[in-house]
């Protein structure tokens, strides 16, 4: 279910970005995800746009803020701020244009330069509905993904094929990584609290402030 505001309660909020050459279909992937819409006549993006998408993972409601920018260099907003705080990226190429696949090296360099080191990247070959005009084989996508140790999927924003699946894969992986981090942090805190208790033989009471944080509605990873 797509939402465009913060009205709905959620357990986690995170930022993800769409990247790739101009006209590979980034904006249509976003409109498919957030509004279930596709536009054959979409214009190149200028600057930055974003939309929200909610997804349930287990018993948690996760809200993703998905950013979309211009593939064309001259229309792009400042690169470092685009990537700042992003936990996931859909790296998109067009299976009917080889050049967009060759340029992935440049995008991967950029995402690793400006993005966080544990950002979840999903490689996405868009326009799978145009397989008659294919210039990039599925195997090429798979090999690159294997080499770069990222997940891979071919999708079609037009036919709504695998768009949700690619997004879900990214969200699930982000959630996994962050749940693990949370757990490790809790363990370290528990161990610290344990050693304090042992050393001083004090009893620590949990106050109301920490109890109230548990009931807050929306929090970022
Ligand atoms: N056949 C087909 N066409 C698509 C698909 N996705 C996008 N397109 C078309 O590809 C063109 C470019 O799509 P956009 O979504 O505007 O591309 P973009 O990556 O956002 O481009 P920039 O904003 O310039 O970076 C449009 O004419 C879309 O209709 C798809 O899955 N199949
Ligand atoms: Mg666009």
Virtual torsion, Cα 203, 208, 211, 212, nearest 10 deg: -160
Domain ranges of the chain: 12-179
Average pLDDT over residues 117-137: 97
Residue 46 predicted with pLDDT over 90: yes
Q: State whether the beta carbon of 130 lies less than 6 angstroms from ligand 1.
A: yes
- Give backbone dihedrals phi and psi of 83, rounded to 5 degrees, phi first: -85, -20
Task: Give yes or no for a contact between 14 and 54, defined as CB atoms under 8 angstroms apart.
Answer: no
Average pLDDT over residues 195-204: 56
Residue 209 neighbours by CB under 8 Å, 6+ apart: none
- In percent, how much of the chain has pLDDT > 90? 68
Model's pTM, two decimal places? 0.85
User: Of the ligands numbered here, which is closest to the C-alpha atom of 133?
Assistant: 1
Q: What's the gap in Å between 206 CA and the centre of ligand 2? A: 49
Higher model confidence: residue 77 or residue 128? 128
Q: State whether the beta carbon of 33 lies less than 6 angstroms from ligand 1.
A: no
Question: What per-residue confidence (pLDDT) applies to 58?
Answer: 87
Superfamily the domain 12-179 falls into? P-loop containing nucleotide triphosphate hydrolases (3.40.50.300)
Segment 91-111, tens digit of pLDDT: 999 999 999 999 999 999 999
d(C-alpha 5, C-alpha 203), whole Å: 43
Judge residue 110's burial from the number of C-beta atoms within 10 Å of its C-beta, 0-12 exposed, 13-18 middle, 19 or more buried: middle
- In percent, how much of the chain has pLDDT > 70? 84
Residue 217 predicted with pLDDT over 80: no
Q: State whether the beta carbon of 28 lies less than 6 angstroms from ligand 1.
A: yes
Residue 203 predicted with pLDDT over 70: no
Q: Of the ranges 74-83, 128-137, 174-183, 186-195, which is most confident?
A: 128-137
* Length of the chain counted residue by residue: 221
């Amino acid at each position: 279910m797509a939402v465009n505001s913060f009205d709905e309660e959620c357990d986690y909020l995170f930022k993800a970005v769409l990247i790739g050459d101009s006209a590979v279909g980034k904006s249509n992937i976003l409109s498919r995800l957030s509004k279930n819409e596709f536009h054959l006549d979409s214009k190149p993006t200028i600057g930055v746009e974003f939309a929200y998408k909610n997804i349930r993972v287990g018993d948690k409601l996760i809200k993703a803020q998905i950013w979309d920018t211009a593939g064309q260099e001259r229309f792009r907003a400042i690169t470092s701020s685009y990537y700042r705080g992003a936990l996931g990226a859909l790296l998109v190429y067009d299976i009917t244009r080889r050049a967009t696949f060759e340029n992935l090296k440049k995008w991967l360099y950029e995402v690793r330069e400006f993005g966080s080191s544990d950002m979840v990247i999903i490689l996405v070959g868009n326009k799978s509905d145009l397989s008659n005009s294919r210039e990039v084989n599925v195997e090429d996508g798979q090999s690159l993904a294997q080499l770069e140790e990222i997940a891979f999927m071919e999708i079609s924003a037009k036919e709504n094929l695998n768009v949700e699946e690619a997004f879900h894969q990214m969200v699930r992986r982000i959630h996994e990584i962050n749940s693990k981090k949370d757990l490790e942090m809790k363990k370290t805190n528990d161990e610290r609290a344990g050693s304090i208790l042992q050393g001083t033989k004090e009893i620590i009471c949990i106050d109301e402030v920490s109890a109230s944080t548990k009931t807050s509605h929306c929090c970022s990873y």
